[in-house]
């Protein structure tokens, strides 16, 4: 799987985890079941388990390292605990609760028993969107929590948005990706912002 091509197919820009059906099909290629081998500071066991699965779906290992290889779920937990304000923490937790409930109702099993394929089925419910529906999601996310009518949908999209945003941020700002995957020049010289990526082979980390 070519990660750059996969990310280009994402239907919404960074900040929202809505993706095309083609991207969802590509997500199935990585079937490794994540196991929790670290102690979260903010997330509980169920939340951390789900975050690991979603992170692995967003950036699975292929010919290069995946997000799990770089401990991105642990990074997200630290962001939630140390960086996000209380109101953002609260909406994340609320979104997690709604998302977990949706899973348990759909598959009639506990969230910790869920497989990656099952999570993919649930994600398809939110990801297979028309262009108009995508615009509506953007508008929804721009609203204040107190002004939304569908709190469940609002909380779930905020939850998924947060996971996707910090998965990408944690991955692409990591030392390994910055120095081994992206173009890395510790002593940059001339800057030209109009050079196509196709001519340089990859994006630059600095």
Dig out the tokens for 123 from the structure.
Answer: 């994600």
Show the tokens assigned to 105: 């109702």
Percent above pLDDT 70 for the chain? 67
The mean predicted confidence, pLDDT, of the chain is: 78
Q: Are 98 and 155 in contact (CB under 8 A)?
A: yes
Contact 29, 6 (CB under 8 A): no
Q: Which residues contact 58 (CB under 8 A, 6 or more apart)?
A: 17, 67, 163, 164, 167, 168
Residue with the bigger pLDDT between 186 and 9: it is 186
Q: Is residue 67 pLDDT above 80, yes or no?
A: yes
* pTM, rounded to two decimals: 0.71
């Amino acid at each position: 799987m070519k990660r750059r091509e996969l990310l280009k197919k994402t239907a919404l820009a960074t900040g929202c985890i809505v993706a095309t059906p083609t991207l969802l099909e590509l997500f199935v290629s990585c079937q490794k079941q994540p196991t929790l081998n670290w102690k979260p500071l903010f997330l509980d066991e169920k939340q951390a388990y789900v975050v690991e699965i979603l992170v692995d779906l967003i950036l699975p290992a292929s010919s290069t390292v995946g997000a799990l290889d770089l401990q991105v779920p642990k990074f997200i937990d630290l962001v939630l605990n140390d960086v996000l304000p209380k109101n953002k923490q609260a909406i994340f937790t609320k979104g997690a609760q709604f998302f977990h409930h949706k899973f348990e109702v759909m598959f009639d099993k506990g969230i910790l028993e869920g497989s990656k394929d099952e999570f993919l089925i649930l994600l398809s419910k939110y990801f297979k969107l028309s262009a108009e529906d995508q615009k509506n999601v953007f508008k929804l996310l721009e609203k204040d929590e107190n002004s939304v009518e569908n709190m469940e949908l609002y909380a779930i999209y905020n939850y998924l948005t947060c996971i996707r945003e910090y998965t990408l941020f944690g991955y692409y700002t990591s030392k390994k990706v910055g120095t081994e995957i992206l173009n890395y020049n510790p002593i940059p010289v001339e800057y030209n912002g109009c050079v196509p990526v196709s001519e340089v082979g990859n994006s630059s980390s600095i």
